[in-house]
Structure 1
């Protein structure tokens, strides 16, 4: 059975400012813009889904008080009136209740701030990531980029865990990555574990209508430049959020994939270069 092709629309749901050096070893100390990229995925039978949510007005609500306010101060966020994903999908004739599922790369605030806007969607995610989000304290959460106030109270009942889905071999074009979790049971959307950035960090492989594979890599790399040059963030960054050794192994695998020069489109979540494909609202 040939997996279904999905219509994929890359969106930008806000951005933040942060020194480039925090995301790229040897980068500039000056603040640069990090877009929060998401994607609307139109599956031919399952309907509309989202890859992450980016920023949303909910982010500002939960960071009004301390210690959560520190998160907003260290990564100042810009979010235009029409940039939240819940508003952008209206261009496709959709409302928040039409979204059948949100595929969550990980639970950092800039990836899940829009979850409250999609109260009926299934939540495809890592059990390990959701468990950490539930048990983390407020101060530790801010240090690790987690804002539990963004998590819907019924998240567990709506969750479809990557760890529980059937494993499938990935297309050879994605080597050295070998297996993925079949989210819908038809091979069209395969969650790929990309460890190191934080607990429960996964990517997503999907094939577009042009037959090209997209690999959404979340924060396994903050830019295509980092992948091409196999250039990780400084150890201080990766150790603060996750595990440096595992992050660097994952980045090396992405570098090997890119170096083969195949047809796979790699999409880091905060890459300004990748944002060139964003559909402007």
Structure 2
């Protein structure tokens, strides 16, 4: 695996009762930051893992029934906190981003896709199929906003399922295989079933931390991974499949237990957000 520099981008946040993300959590609403990750590849340049919130999310949830999404998870998005604006502030033009890796198709992960018009869009075919098979109300209930897809999405899509199978280093056990997205071993997509159809994470060799596993929404926090403490079934059944989600979380717990040196990053983890450069106006 080649070395990649990672730069976390905190692209706004939503408020939601912790108990919907963690069994026996508090009913008090808490802030969950939306973490996208800027990846600096030695040859390909800037790459994104997810895009987080974006003003497009607010536009997409202005009318009913999509507005119900915004009611369920009220969003705070400061001006300039979107991924494209933060890339510019870091010296990277959005049009120079060659690849965006989509962990899954929930609106808080794909809202900024429109801002990266030259990027190949790496995603799961299963997730894209699921996104397009629901009516507006059913899609909204599942956290899906099909209007966020760029009009040329299909022509730029590259599917995880079609990438080359590769063996993972022993450091990732019990995860043993993934998909080599760029063909150079630098970015390995790993399926993490359960949260929703077509949900994947990304393994890489981080120049700051060594082996690094971006686990998207397979867990909402490092606490959940450490304690093997999933969301309640009502939450996991709402979006995906409870048994698969809990099996995935158990595998992440086993990974953390046997290899505490490997860095795990859930997209909404408060601990990871507190370590990162939180965007301020």
- The 5 A counterparts of 1:76-155 are 76-155=74-153
What is the TM-score of this pair, normalised by structure 2?
A: 0.97
Moved more, 3-12 or 58-67: 3-12
The structure-2 alpha-carbon separation of the partners of 1:76 and 1:210, relative to structure 1 and needing over 3 Å to count, comes to: closer
Distance in 2, matches of 1:92 and 1:279, equals 12
> In the TM superposition, what is the alpha-carbon distance from 1:276 to its structure 2 partner?
2.3
Matched, 1:250 2:242: no
Aligned match for 1:35, one of 33, 36, 39: 33
Aligned with 2:201: secondary structure? strand
> In the TM superposition, what is the alpha-carbon distance from 1:211 to its structure 2 partner?
6.0
Q: 1:238 maps to what in 2?
A: 236
Give the alignment's Cα RMSD to 1 decimal. Answer: 1.0
Q: 1:223 maps to what in 2?
A: 221
Aligned with 1:6: secondary structure? strand
What is the TM-score of this pair, normalised by structure 1?
A: 0.97
Q: Mark the runs of 5 or more structure 1 residues left unpaired by the alignment.
A: none
Q: 2:58 maps to what in 1?
A: 60
Q: 1:194 maps to what in 2?
A: 192
Q: 2:266 maps to what in 1?
A: 268
- The 5 A counterparts of 1:1-80 are 3-80=1-78
Distance in 2, matches of 1:190 and 1:111, equals 19
User: Does the 8 Å CA contact 2:209/2:263 hold for their aligned counterparts?
Assistant: no
> In the TM superposition, what is the alpha-carbon distance from 1:117 to its structure 2 partner?
1.1
Distance in 1, matches of 2:139 and 2:117, equals 23
Distance in 2, matches of 1:279 and 1:228, equals 24
> In the TM superposition, what is the alpha-carbon distance from 1:120 to its structure 2 partner?
1.5
User: Does the 8 Å CA contact 1:103/1:123 hold for their aligned counterparts?
Assistant: yes
Distance in 2, matches of 1:105 and 1:24, equals 21
- Could you list the structure 1 runs, at least 4 aligned residues long, displaced by more than 4 angstroms after superposition: none
Q: Mark the runs of 5 or more structure 2 residues left unpaired by the alignment.
A: none
Aligned with 1:73: secondary structure? helix
> In the TM superposition, what is the alpha-carbon distance from 1:47 to its structure 2 partner?
1.4
Distance in 2, matches of 1:260 and 1:166, equals 27
User: Does the 8 Å CA contact 1:167/1:181 hold for their aligned counterparts?
Assistant: yes
Count of aligned pairs between the two proteins: 279
User: Does the 8 Å CA contact 1:173/1:262 hold for their aligned counterparts?
Assistant: no
> In the TM superposition, what is the alpha-carbon distance from 1:279 to its structure 2 partner?
2.3
Distance in 2, matches of 1:36 and 1:129, equals 20
> In the TM superposition, what is the alpha-carbon distance from 1:278 to its structure 2 partner?
1.6
Aligned with 1:273: secondary structure? helix
- Alignment deviations for residues 129-160 of structure 1 (CA, whole Å, 9 cap, x no partner): 11111222100001100001101121111011
User: Does the 8 Å CA contact 1:71/1:142 hold for their aligned counterparts?
Assistant: yes
Distance in 2, matches of 1:215 and 1:4, equals 14
